[in-house]
Amino acid sequence: MMHSRIAFAAMVVACGCSRAPVDRAEWPVMGTVAAVQTRGAAAGAAAEAVRPVFAEIERLMNAHDAGSELGRLAPLADGDVLGRCSPVARPCYEAAFRMRDETGGAFDPRWRGAGTMDLGAIAKGYAVDLAAERLGRAAVDTLVDLGGNLKAVRGDWKVGIRTSAGGEPSESFVLREGEACATSAEYYRGSHIRDGRTKGAPASGVRCVTVVHPSSAMLADALSTTMFILGRERGGRFLSERYPEARAIWYTGRHNED
Poorest-pLDDT segment among 3-7, 159-163, 243-247: 3-7
**Where is pLDDT greater, at 164 or 83?**
83
The Cα 68–Cα 60 span in angstroms is: 5
**Closest C-alpha among 133, 6, 111 to residue 57:** 133
The Cα 95–Cα 93 span in angstroms is: 5
Mean pLDDT, range 50-64, rounded to an integer: 97
The Cα 247–Cα 258 span in angstroms is: 7
Q: What percent of the chain is modeled with pLDDT above 90?
A: 71
**Closest C-alpha among 95, 218, 206, 96 to residue 150:** 218
The Cα 192–Cα 201 span in angstroms is: 9
**Where is pLDDT greater, at 254 or 108?**
108
Q: What percent of the chain is modeled with pLDDT above 70?
A: 82
The Cα 99–Cα 226 span in angstroms is: 9
Domain boundary assignment for the chain: 11-257
**Closest C-alpha among 181, 165, 202 to residue 3:** 202
Q: Which residues pair with 249 in a beta bridge?
A: 210
- Helix and strand tally (H, E) in the chain? 6, 13
pLDDT by residue (tens digit) across 60-74?
A: 999 999 999 999 999
Mean pLDDT, range 15-28, rounded to an integer: 79
Contact 70, 117 (CB under 8 A): yes
Global model pTM greater than 0.75: yes
**Closest C-alpha among 233, 232, 243 to residue 207:** 232
- In CATH terms, is domain 11-257 a member of 3.30.300.30? no
